[in-house]
Amino acid sequence: MNLGLKDRVAIVAAASSGLGKEVALVLSEEGARVAICSRHRERIEPAGEEIRARTGGDVLALVADVTVEADITSVVSETLTRLGRIDILVCNAGGPPAGFFSDFTSDDWRKAVELNFISTVNLCRAVVPHMRERHWGRIINITSIAAKQPVDNLILSNAVRAGVLGFSKSLSNQVAADNITVNCVCPGYTLTERLQSLSEATARKEGIDIEEVHRRWQAGIPMKRLGQPREFADVVAFLASERASYVTGAALQIDGGMVKGLF
């Protein structure tokens, strides 16, 4: 299937590693021109070089903190200057720390909201006007299965990421007539650096090894295995494509069947 992504321009946030990097790689493989950003220059520049080497594509690596509105403005401006337009936006950010209600202060809650909710709002606000001008756009907001089925020790993520679902559904209704789609993707347990850190935290708290943590997680997944980043990124690429033109306002879990609810 030709996804129609050749020469489309995408911004992928938090793309120095993990799911963001894999999404950028797949989009580049499909012929898109990609701007990637991260707070860490020492990580984002090698990520850009790796993607260019693997795909031969046009990859712009930028240093930006998605919790800083001025940095978002700079990424959008630089992408427009260097790549000419913005067709696709993939909103992504690192997850808040694991823990329970009693573990966190008001400041911890504010930081989680800024990292995983406000950053998405600001990225969309910066990009939507340019998509409206071209009467075409794809916005994919990366959240988590925690937004649909709360995870016991991820109270910050459970609460804040659910807000992203509500925002995305509302935005999708407001920009649909402009031929802009807005969807959420909710990854389950996927083998990334983030999952490794959660594994280590859980292992320390419960006094077990990481392999046992993984076995317990896999026991709750109907497919009985953890996900691969590529399996997630392929779905994002479809939602970013011409082929997903009538899909909007959806929140799709990519979790091997872990979420038990119907919706």
DSSP string, 103-171: G--HHHHHHHHIIIIIHHHHHHHHHHHHHHHHT-EEEEEE--GGGTS--TTBHHHHHHHHHHHHHHHHH
* Separation of alpha carbons 87 and 235, rounded Å: 17
Does 214 map to a domain? Answer: yes
pLDDT, residue 52, reads: 98
Q: How confident is the model at residue 159 (pLDDT cuts 50, 70, 90)?
A: very high
- SS3 state at 95: coil
Instruction: Indicate the pLDDT class of residue 238, thresholds 50, 70 and 90.
Output: very high
Is residue 261 a part of any domain in this protein? no
Say if 147 falls within a structural domain: yes
What is the band of 158 on the pLDDT scale with cuts at 50, 70, 90? Answer: very high
The Cα 239–Cα 257 span in angstroms is: 19
Strand-pair partners of 10: 34, 88
Structural domain for 238, as ranges: 9-188+228-252
204 with 125, same domain: the answer is no
Taking the CB of residue 108, how many other CB atoms lie within 10 A of it? 14
Q: Is 64 among the domain residues?
A: yes
pTM: 0.95
Asked whether residue 260 is domain-assigned, the answer is no
DSSP 147-166: GTS--TTBHHHHHHHHHHHH
Mean pLDDT of 67-94: 98
Residues 160 and 133 in one domain: yes
Tally of structural domains, the chain: 2
At residue 193, the pLDDT reads 87
Distance CA 198, CA 188 (A): 13
